[in-house]
Amino acid sequence: MIELDSVEHREDKTPTDLISSVPRIDEPISYEEFFREYIEGNKPCIFNQNFTSSWKARKEWVTCDGSPNVDFLEEKFGCADVPVADCDQKHYDSQQKQTLKLSDYLKYWRGDFSSLPHLKDKCLYLKDWHFVRAFPDYDAYRTPEYFASDWLNEFWEHRKDVQDDYRFVYIGPKGSWTPFHADVFRSFSWSANICGRKRWVFYPPGQDQYLRDPFGSLIYDIDSEELKDKTTYPKSMEAKGKLEVIQEVGEIIFVPSEWHHQVWNLESTISINHNWINGGNIHIVWRFLAESLDQVENAILDCMEMEDWKGQCQLLLKATHGMDFIEFYLFVRTIARRRLQHICDCKQVESVDGWCVGPTHAAYDLYQIKWCLEQLVEDKRYDSISSFEEMEDHPKHLLDDIIKVL
């Protein structure tokens, strides 16, 4: 069971003090200590390899010499379709992607180009593979307790109309990398190396403003010489708080909300990664969503006279951001109703991977959701979204129920 000893809402938990290094956690700490220090403190940290030593993935996906067990992966999962990025081909602010069979990607990995000559000399990185969704009965790992208050994957596990999740496997050769970015929705993330080593570079929240060009576009490669061009990135020297860390085999790195980062594989590497949201960062997620809608509205302000302009803005928000106001509400409503069930009906509520939410944690979650719902219904755009009032369980109704319980 995951539990907190006290319930408290703090509207803005993003730290203002810069830290000089990424703390390492070598011995188990309490869930509450991690939550208060790193979740609410919004600070990165690394757990050592002992926290993943029992995982099946670390035993079956790796050979005795520590390299990826390509034969096992091909035999067990080779039929799967996997997304593969070309690290040498930029596509907007990301990398060009294609879909391959895992068996074909592993041929590339081995250097067997007899049937895939077009892949020769490319740097291909298998990333964002929904492994758990594809192989739900293969228990490769169990989400560590510290990351178990995972509203995002709890939401998708209980959603019936669409199948999705934010649990991924990454496989990449030495030299493969991910461009400079902050995580989707401004979620938390955690990443565990099954084999191989990675180099990470972090910048704290707010420092990305100095790493953008005059048009607001973020630097693509933080190591590039382009960053030194004062005409393109005139404020780059003002960025503070840069952290660099090497993640070793078996280690888990915790990436807080709004921390921009870039990652390189220093050798052939397999990692397991989750994006997740909970009461510790939901205020950041809401704020980012509202700001993203501001940007959408400003971008098409000249079309304001069109029919259902505000509805079109919501469509664009979902297309560019991955979530609109309705989706955000469905997300927090799912979590809120489950927490209310736990408190009112004494019904045990599982978050993810068998971890259950305790009553104090459930109350904490409801306090955070209450704050978000208040922001939503007070937003100037709320009344223009007719779908809300058409819902049987609309935001104001849910807010009233939460207030009564709290």
Amino acid (1-letter code) at residue 43: K
What is the Cα–Cα distance from 77 to 337, expressed in whole angstroms? Answer: 37
Domains for the chain: give ranges and CATH numbers. Answer: 24-204+241-276 (2.60.120.650), 282-405 (no CATH)
> What confidence score (pLDDT) does residue 389 get?
86
> What confidence score (pLDDT) does residue 89 get?
97
Q: Name the burial class of residue 161, with classes exposed (0-12), middle (13-18) and buried (19+) by CB atoms within 10 angstroms of its CB.
A: exposed
Q: Residues 7, 363: contact at Cβ < 8 Å?
A: yes
> What confidence score (pLDDT) does residue 394 get?
93
Contacts of 294 (CB under 8 A, 6+ apart): none
What is the Cα–Cα distance from 21 to 13, expressed in whole angstroms? Answer: 19
pTM: 0.95
Q: 282-299 and 309-321 are packed helices; what angle lies between their axes, rounded to 10 degrees?
A: 120
> What confidence score (pLDDT) does residue 178 get?
98
Q: How many Cβ atoms from other residues are within 10 Å of residue 243's Cβ?
A: 17
Parallel/antiparallel/unpaired status of strands 45-47 and 24-25:
parallel
> What confidence score (pLDDT) does residue 7 get?
57
pLDDT in tens, 196-206: 999 999 999 99
DSSP one-letter string for 137-175:
T-------GGG---HHHHHHHH--SS---SEEEEEE-TT
Q: Residues 363, 343: contact at Cβ < 8 Å?
A: yes
Contacts of 281 (CB under 8 A, 6+ apart): 13, 39, 42, 186, 187, 188, 256, 257
Q: Which residues of the chain have pLDDT under 70?
A: 5-17
